[in-house]
Amino acid sequence: MGISDISDSIFRAVEDASDGVSEMFEPVIRLGVTGLSRAGKTVFITSLVANLLDRGRMPQLLAATEGRIVSAFLQPQPDDTIPRFDYETHLAALTGKTPHWPHSTRSISQLRISLKIQPAGLLSGIKGLRTIHIDIIDYPGEWLLDLPLLNQTYAEWSENTLVQARSPARVSLAEGWLAQLEGFDTTAELDEGQAQELAKTFTAYLAASREAGFSGCAPGRFLLPGDLDGSPVLTFSPLERPEKVRSKTLYAEFERRFSAYKRKVVKPFFRDHFSKIDRQIVLVDVMGAVHAGPQAVEDLRNAMSDILASFRPGKNTWLSYILRKRVEKILFAATKADHLHHLQHPQLTGLLRAMLRDAKDRADFKGAKTAAISLASLRATVEQTVKHEGENLDCVQGVLLETGKVAAMHAGELPADPAHLLVPARKGEAAWLDGDFEVMRFAPPVLTRQNGEGLPHIRLDKAIQFLIGDRL
């Protein structure tokens, strides 16, 4: 254990002691919400909060159906240094006269919702109302995928990233960056202009990979830089290792910046935020990956095992020293299930479950209770059966985001056996053998809400029951 690890642990213990006293009286559940960008975190949190404040659409949340949630209200959050999740603006976007999707998660944010609860069972008659705080912590999944960087040297990371960029799946996305690398003398003295050029084309490659549906796009802050945009800690790129590394060269400087990134960006996130999470939901745009093709599905599977590995770090790793407690439950949720007719939801969940099982094996994971579910945080479609070439086709219908026109969509037939997708994915096939999967973007619906009703959703109540139902 290094000196900084020891000071991290002492800091942790002092903080734990002071939190413990106040939490005896008013328990706090820290619920992490993560997922890669555009997975649906912002819409999920907005809908979750709206549906906890007005619980008319939450039949599967037992404490609500039993009438034990007496009231729910938003409160100032406990962490002074994290931006507040902008619930009111996001809700206004979704519920206005011309609803639009809110701006997505770019960084970490937090919101506290507190519930006044009538205890269940034997205690119900004796004990008065209890207050339970739910601190929702929203953070980009890209940041979790940075964890493996901690165990890699700059040379190892460079080599792995270059191998991946030159693989058939990605080489066309990396062309510009790879061509630029060819012309570089990494042993020459650092030229800041050149460093920035390289970082720019490398970032463009990461962004193109993400756009093409790939999940593994570390370092995560290159895509979501927030206030670090343009800083030296984000101005580097993988390089071929020269035979001899001399000081003040481009290679030596990039090596230094890589380690600064780990020390000043990756570690503080895990130490200050991730280590406090009790329950976690990981949102996954499964249909987006299926639509992008077999290689994107395989990449997603790898990302899921990296994510799981962060929740159960091996002994003697830096993370195992700083984790103050174990995450007790992790729910993987396939979002935007309203893109599929409900008859296909079991297949969607089955596919995610199979990926989760696989990721658990790979991450050697025996930690928290895990589960998979399909949900839509905001239902933007209605179901419809249309006649197509003499056959009935189960579709969903909504207003297309691009054109504003009403359209029915059949995303494709997900197979009952997930192996039909996972095997070609593992083999690195370029395309699915039996047909394509289509995804269209729908506009949020114009809502007419009754008193006491939150936003329309699919299985949001079941998800939250799994995540926190036992604590209510």
Q: Tell me which residues touch ligand GDP (CB under 6 A).
A: 35, 37-43, 101, 104-105, 335-336, 338-339, 376-378, 380, 441-442
| Nearest approach, Cβ of residue 375 and ligand GDP (Å) | 7
Of 36 and 208, nearer to ligand GDP (C-beta) is 36
164 versus 349: smaller Cβ distance to ligand GDP? 349
Minimum separation from the CB atom of position 447 to ligand GDP (A): 13
Q: How far apart are CA 145 and CA 210, in angstroms?
A: 13
- The rounded distance, in Å, linking the Cα atoms of 340 and 285 is 13
Residue 107 or 180 having the CB closest to ligand GDP: 107
Minimum CB–partner distance for residue 42 and ligand GDP (Å): 4
Q: At what angle do helices 460-468 and 41-53 cross, to 10 degrees?
A: 80
Report the 10 Å Cβ neighbour count for 328.
16
User: Rounded to the nearest whole angstrom, what is the least distance from the CB of residue 458 to ligand GDP in the complex?
Assistant: 8
Q: How far is the CB of 364 from ligand GDP (least distance, A)?
A: 28
- CA 339: distance to chain centroid? 19
Nearer to ligand GDP, 42 or 280 (CB): 42
**Count of positions (residues) in the chain:** 472
List all residues 6 or more positions away from 177 whose beta carbon is below 8 Å from its beta carbon.
165, 198, 201, 202, 204, 205, 237
Respond yes or no on whether the N-terminal peptide bond of residue 168 is cis (omega within 30° of 0). no
* Residue 432 token pair: 């699915």
Kindly report the three-state secondary structure assignment for every residue of 235-268: CCCCCCCCCCCCCCEHHHHHHHHHHHHHHHHHHH
| Axis-axis angle for helices 192-211, 250-261 (nearest 10) | 50
Give the nearer residue to ligand GDP in terms of CB position, either 313 or 445: 445
Give the Cα separation of 386 and 52 in Å (integer): 36
Residue nearer to ligand GDP on the CB measure, 90 or 112 = 90
The vertex-415 CA angle with 409 and 387, nearest 5°, equals 35
Min separation Cβ 115 and ligand GDP, Å: 23
Nearest approach in angstroms of CB 202 to ligand GDP is: 22
Smaller CB distance to ligand GDP: residue 41 or 301? 41
Name which of 359 and 380 has its Cβ closer to ligand GDP.
380
